[in-house]
Chain A
């Protein structure tokens, strides 16, 4: 069985600061992909970043980076230089051959 755990229901960060959103996962499949999505209040799920289980380097996409620690089964999202528009729900998800499983999400609020 696959499981994604996001232990932070809500986070606050000041504008221009960096923030880390936690995600741990559990699977017995050797091949899997880890994804982060952003969901603003409008409801659309926006793809942010992907990390493959065999990737040696941590993924980066602009201000987003994924801190992948395979032995600890964690895939934390780091957002650098936070902006007011980053305020949203953030979901960690894991995909194996069978399906994509989501965590419960973390609500990020960026303050002035």
Chain B
């Protein structure tokens, strides 16, 4: 069974530029998550989708970050305009559902460096 796919793996941009990340979850997983992991810290949830609806985006900086999951499968996360403090690893994860027993499986992440 294929795991969570993410692209690109690495991205370097200058501040004020825009960037987009793509995620394809495990087949059949209804729930998709985007996390931001700053160096030396644990991942922090940015947004959570159930099918194509947003469940939780309370920690998403909505003035510059946006995410969508139009057909309930793939998802894109966009930053526009980027700031220096956005330098981090962006992890996508998926799970079968929202239950507390459901394991989240993570993709390889996208390492973003903002100069």
Contact = CB atoms under 8 A, between A and B. Distances in A.
Interface of A: 4, 29, 31-33, 35, 37, 42-47, 50, 52-53, 91, 93, 95-100, 102-105
Given A33-B102, A53-B100, 16 more contacts: A29-B100, A32-B100, A33-B100, A35-B104, A42-B108, A47-B103, A50-B101, A91-B42, A95-B104, A97-B100, A99-B56, A100-B45, A102-B42, A102-B44, A104-B40, A104-B42
Interface in B61-115: 89, 91, 93, 98-109, 111
Contacts of B33: 100
Contacts of B50: none
8 contacts: A4-B42, A35-B104, A46-B106, A47-B104, A52-B101, A91-B42, A97-B99, A100-B45
Nearest to A4: B42
A96 B111 CA distance: 28
B69 to A, nearest CB: 17
Interface residues of B, number: 25
A103 B37 CA distance: 12
A31 B98 CA distance: 13
Contacts of A33: 100-102
B100 A43 contact: no
B46 to A, nearest CB: 11
A71 B36 CA distance: 32
Given A42-B108, A44-B106, A102 B101 contact: no
A91 B93 CA distance: 15
A100 B48 CA distance: 10
Given A32-B100, A97-B98, A100-B104, A44 B109 contact: yes
Contacts of A104: 40-42
Interface string B15-59: 000000000000000000100000011111100100000001000
B22 to A, nearest CB: 16
Contacts of A99: 45, 48, 56
